[in-house]
Amino acid sequence: MQSIAIVNYGMGNVHSVQKAFEYVAPNAHIFLTDDSRLINDADRVVFPGQGAMGACMQALKQHSLTEVIKTCVNEKPFLGICLGLQLLFDYSEENGGTSGLSIIPGKVTRFAKNALKIPHMGWNRVKHTINHPLWHNIDDNARFYSVHSYYVESLDKVVVAGVTNYGVDFTCAIAKDNLFAVQFHPEKSQHDGLQLLNNFVNWNTND
Q: Which residues are catalytic?
A: 82, 185, 187
CB 138 within 8 A of CB 147: no
Under DSSP, is residue 22 helix (H, G, I), strand (E, B) or coil?
helix
How many Cβ atoms sit within 10 Å of the Cβ of residue 205?
14
How many Cβ atoms sit within 10 Å of the Cβ of residue 156?
11
- Rounded Cα–Cα distance for residues 30 and 32 (Å): 7
- Rounded Cα–Cα distance for residues 130 and 116 (Å): 28
- Rounded Cα–Cα distance for residues 9 and 98 (Å): 18
| CA-atom Rg of the chain in angstroms | 16
